[in-house]
């Protein structure tokens, strides 16, 4: 009886794990289950507040940022040095949006991006709460996923801290309950996430937000990571 109960328990646990793993993601994507997660922070910039419980539907998200070579399949006129074919592409928001649509995907909302980066436990970085240089692709010369250690987020995404910034679909607006005025709020700037190889360590925190003009990125290196809805 004891053995039977143990086996039953194991079976139930296995079924639960399978259920949590969800549907098989398309190639190059990972699955993020529906549900609540901790969004925002109490210690970052004023626009990260208030820290809140947010929720998303289940979705798939790209494991890696889109590369130069992948983007060139969408836009054959896009040129890049051959040795950088596997580096993250740097594009404007409309280019990113067009690429996502062409790929049958879309750009993530801020909520989706943040959940994919930090999971449910409110961690500071995709790998946890302690910073380490070796976890980050700091050098634009490096290809995607080339950090020395612990590169993946809780759901298996690479380079969500550092490498290039990543476009979201959202305009830069205050979170509900945020009362700190910002003249940049509205529908002029899009939000980019994840920091890049050219900013201080705090910018690669999972809750950090930064605003940029969608079509004038200047020298901000902003790239693409797409999501796909689950039917």
Which residues make beta-bridge pairs with 191?
Answer: 211
Residue 184: CB minimum distance to other proteins, A: 6
Q: Please name which of 109, 118, 101, 112 lies closest in space to residue 191, comparing C-alpha atoms.
A: 109
Task: In angstroms, give the least distance from the CB of 203 to other proteins.
Answer: 7
Q: Supply 204's token pair.
A: 């690669």
**Residues pairing with 62 in the sheet:** 29
CB of 199 to other proteins, least distance (A): 4
Closer to other proteins by Cβ: residue 43 or 102:
43
Q: Among residues 175 and 198, whose Cβ is nearest to other proteins?
A: 198
Q: Considering the complex, what minimum distance in angstroms separates the CB of residue 201 from other proteins? A: 4
Q: To the nearest whole angstrom, how small is the minimum distance from the Cβ of residue 101 to other proteins?
A: 25
Residue 55 CB, nearest approach to other proteins (Å): 27
C-beta closer to other proteins: residue 115 or 209: 209
3-state SS record for the chain: CHHHHHHHHHHHHHHHHHHHHCCCCCCCEEEECCEEEEECCCCCCHHHCCCEEEEECCEEEECCCCEHHHHHHHCCCCCCCHHHCCCECCCCHHHHHHHHHHCCCECCCHHHHHHHHHCCCCCCECCECCCCHHHCECCCCCCCCCCCCCCECCCCCECCCECCEEEEEEECCCCCCCCCCCCCCCCCCEEEECCCCCCCHHHHCCCCCEEECCCCCCCCCEECCCEEECC
> Which is nearer to other proteins, 37 or 203 (by Cβ)?
203
Nearer to other proteins, 6 or 130 (CB): 130
Binding region for other proteins (CB under 8 A): 43-47, 124, 131, 133, 180, 182-184, 198-203, 205, 210, 213, 216, 218-220
Considering beta carbons, is residue 39 or 100 the nearer one to other proteins? 39
């Amino acid at each position: 009886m004891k053995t039977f109960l143990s086996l039953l328990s194991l079976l139930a646990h296995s079924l639960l794990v399978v259920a949590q793993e969800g549907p098989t993601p398309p190639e190059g994507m990972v699955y993020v289950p529906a549900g609540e997660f901790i969004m925002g922070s109490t210690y970052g910039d004023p626009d990260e507040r208030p820290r809140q419980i947010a929720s998303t539907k289940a979705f798939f998200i790209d494991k890696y940022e889109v590369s130069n070579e992948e983007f060139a399949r969408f836009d054959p006129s896009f040129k890049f040095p051959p040795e950088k074919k596997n580096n993250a592409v740097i594009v404007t928001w409309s280019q990113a949006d067009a690429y996502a649509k062409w790929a049958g995907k879309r750009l993530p909302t801020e909520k989706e991006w943040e959940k994919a980066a930090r999971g449910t436990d409110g961690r500071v970085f995709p790998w946890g709460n302690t910073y380490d240089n070796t976890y980050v692709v700091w050098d634009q010369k490096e290809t995607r996923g080339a950090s020395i250690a612990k590169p993946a987020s809780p759901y298996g995404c690479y380079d969500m801290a550092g490498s290039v910034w990543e476009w979201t679909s959202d305009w830069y607006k205050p979170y509900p309950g945020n009362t700190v005025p910002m003249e940049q709020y509205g529908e002029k700037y899009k939000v980019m996430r994840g920091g890049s190889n050219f900013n201080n360590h705090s910018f690669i925190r999972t809750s950090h937000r930064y605003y940029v003009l969608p079509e004038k990125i200047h020298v901000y290196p902003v790239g693409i990571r797409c999501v796909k809805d689950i039917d």
